[in-house]
Structures are given as C-alpha cells and as structure tokens.
C-alpha cells in the first residue's frame, strides 16, 4: 500500500471511530463488598463454581459491565468484592436489587468510586464553585 493511501485509510478510520467513541455514555465504577449468607456458602461448598459469568450477565442486563470479582480468602466482615461499571446510580441499583433479592447475601455495601483523574476534575470544579459559596452564618 502506498504511503498516501495508507494515510488516507488511517484518516478515514479515525474519522469513523472518534464520533462513535464520543457518543458512548460514560460508565461509572461501583465497588460492591459482599458477605455470603450461610445457606449460600453451604451451597457453594457443596457445589463449587465460579459465579463471575452470572454477575457479568446481570450487569449486562442493565447496561453495565463486570470489571472484576474478587473473593477474600480470610473473610471477616466481607467475603469479597466486585467492581461493576454502570451508567448511573439507578442502573447500579437495579443490579443491586436483583442480587439482593436472590437471598444469597447477608450484606452488600455499594460505593461509587472515582479514578484519580475524575477526582482531580471534581476538585477543580469544587475550587471554581467555592468562590460563589457562602457558608451558613457568614
């Protein structure tokens, strides 16, 4: 392929890809810490299996994506955690309600998390907004 044709093909590809990427919604990350119910732990012990596919499937039903699932080997307060990407709080709550209704968990704790870059953006916005904020009593 000639350099001019290669350059044209690359420009065409970028021209098609960038608008598609720009239209994709931003997904937020949520960390869910979980504690299995005693019955669920007994069932898992009797019939060991990897449940990552099931978590991925329920996440995808509501437009989310399972990023990772970890199980804590020396559990105390929680038995493990998942990180799920979801469009917003409402989408994550739908996933959470499905999981909670299964009865397999005695405790779930969901927290949205930010990357360092997202946190920096929030700090910059807070800095700009602080100038217009008057604390109560001042």
pTM, two decimal places? 0.73
pLDDT tens per residue, range 31-61: 999 999 999 999 999 999 999 999 999 999 9
Q: What pLDDT does residue 85 have?
A: 97
End-to-end CA distance of the chain: 70
pLDDT at 62 over 90: yes
Q: How many CB atoms lie within 10 A of CB 35?
A: 18
What three-state secondary structure class fits 46?
A: helix
Q: What is the rounded average pLDDT for all residues in the chain?
A: 85
pLDDT tens per residue, range 13-27: 444 444 444 455 589
The two three-digit tokens of residue 83, written as one number: 């990180």
Question: What is the assigned CATH class of domain 25-115?
Answer: alpha beta
Distances (CA, A) of 20 to 23, 64, 88: 5, 18, 20
**Ranges of H-type helices in the chain:** 3-23, 38-46, 52-61, 89-101, 116-130
pLDDT at 4 over 90: no
pLDDT tens per residue, range 103-113: 999 999 999 99
Looking only at Cα atoms, what is the longest distance across the chain?
72
Number of H helices, E strands in the chain: 5, 4
pLDDT at 3 over 50: no
Q: What pLDDT does residue 30 have?
A: 97
């Amino acid at each position: 392929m000639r350099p001019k044709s290669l350059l044209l093909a690359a420009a065409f590809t970028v021209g098609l890809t960038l608008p598609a990427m720009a239209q994709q919604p931003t997904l937020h990350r949520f960390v869910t810490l979980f504690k299995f119910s005693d019955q669920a732990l007994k069932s898992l012990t009797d019939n060991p299996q990897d449940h990552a596919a099931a978590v991925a499937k329920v996440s995808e039903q509501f437009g989310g994506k399972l990023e990772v699932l970890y199980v804590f080997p020396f559990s105390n307060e929680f038995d493990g955690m998942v990180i799920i990407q979801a469009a917003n709080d409402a989408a994550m709550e739908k996933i959470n309600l499905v999981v909670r209704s299964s009865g397999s968990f005695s405790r779930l704790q969901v927290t949205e998390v930010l990357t360092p870059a997202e946190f920096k953006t929030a700090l910059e916005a807070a800095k700009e907004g602080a100038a217009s904020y008057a604390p109560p009593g001042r």
